[in-house]
Chain A
Amino acid sequence: MKRVMRVMRVMRVWILLATLLGAPTVAVADQPQPPKEFVPVDEVPPGEQIPAINLVAAAYGFVWVAVLGYVWSIAKRLKQVETELADLETRRK
Chain B
Amino acid sequence: MRKLTTPFIALSAAMLLAAPWIINAAPYESTMGLVQKVFYFHFPSAILFLVSSVICGIHSFRFLFLKRQSADAWALSAAELGLLFGALTLVTGPLWARKAWGVWWVWDPRLTSSLLLFLIFAAYLMLRQYGGPGSDRLAAGMALFGMLNVPFIYVSVNVWRTLHPMTSVVPTLPTDMGIPLWFCFTAFTMLFIALLTLRATLEHQRARVEALYLAEDEG
A81 at the interface (CB under 8 A from B): yes
Secondary structure class of chain B's binding surface, majority of residues: helix
Q: How far is the CA of A31 from the CA of B29 in the complex (A)?
A: 25
B36 neighbours in A (Cβ, 8 Å)? 38
Quote the shortest CB–CB distance from A60 to chain B (angstroms): 6
CB interface residues, A 31-80, toward B, < 8 Å: 31-42, 44-45, 48-49, 51-53, 55-56, 58-60, 62-64, 66-67, 70-71, 74, 77-78
Ordered by A's residue number, 16 sampled pairs between the chains whose C-beta atoms are within 8 Å are A34-B165, A36-B166, A38-B32, A38-B174, A39-B29, A39-B31, A55-B35, A56-B38, A56-B95, A59-B42, A59-B92, A63-B41, A66-B88, A67-B191, A81-B202, A84-B209
CB interface residues, B 172-219, toward A, < 8 Å: 172-174, 176-177, 191, 195, 198-199, 201-202, 205-206, 208-209, 212-213, 215-216
B206 neighbours in A (Cβ, 8 Å)? 81
A77 neighbours in B (Cβ, 8 Å)? 202
A88 at the interface (CB under 8 A from B): yes
A60 neighbours in B (Cβ, 8 Å)? 20, 38, 41
A48 touches B33 (CB 8 A): yes
A11 at the interface (CB under 8 A from B): no
B164 neighbours in A (Cβ, 8 Å)? 34
Q: How far is the CA of A88 from the CA of B214 in the complex (A)?
A: 11
> By the criterion of a CB under 8 Å from any partner CB, how many residues of chain A are at the interface?
44
B209 neighbours in A (Cβ, 8 Å)? 81, 84-85, 88
A91 at the interface (CB under 8 A from B): yes
Q: How far is the CA of A44 from the CA of B29 in the complex (A)?
A: 9
Quote the shortest CB–CB distance from A85 to chain B (angstroms): 5
B92 touches A74 (CB 8 A): no
B42 neighbours in A (Cβ, 8 Å)? 59
B39 neighbours in A (Cβ, 8 Å)? 38
Quote the shortest CB–CB distance from B159 to chain A (angstroms): 6
Quote the shortest CB–CB distance from B96 to chain A (angstroms): 7
B99 touches A52 (CB 8 A): yes
Given A36-B172, A40-B29, A59-B92, residue A66 in contact with residue B163 (CB < 8 A): no
CB-nearest residue of chain B relative to A69? B84
B30 at the interface (CB under 8 A from A): yes
A92 at the interface (CB under 8 A from B): yes
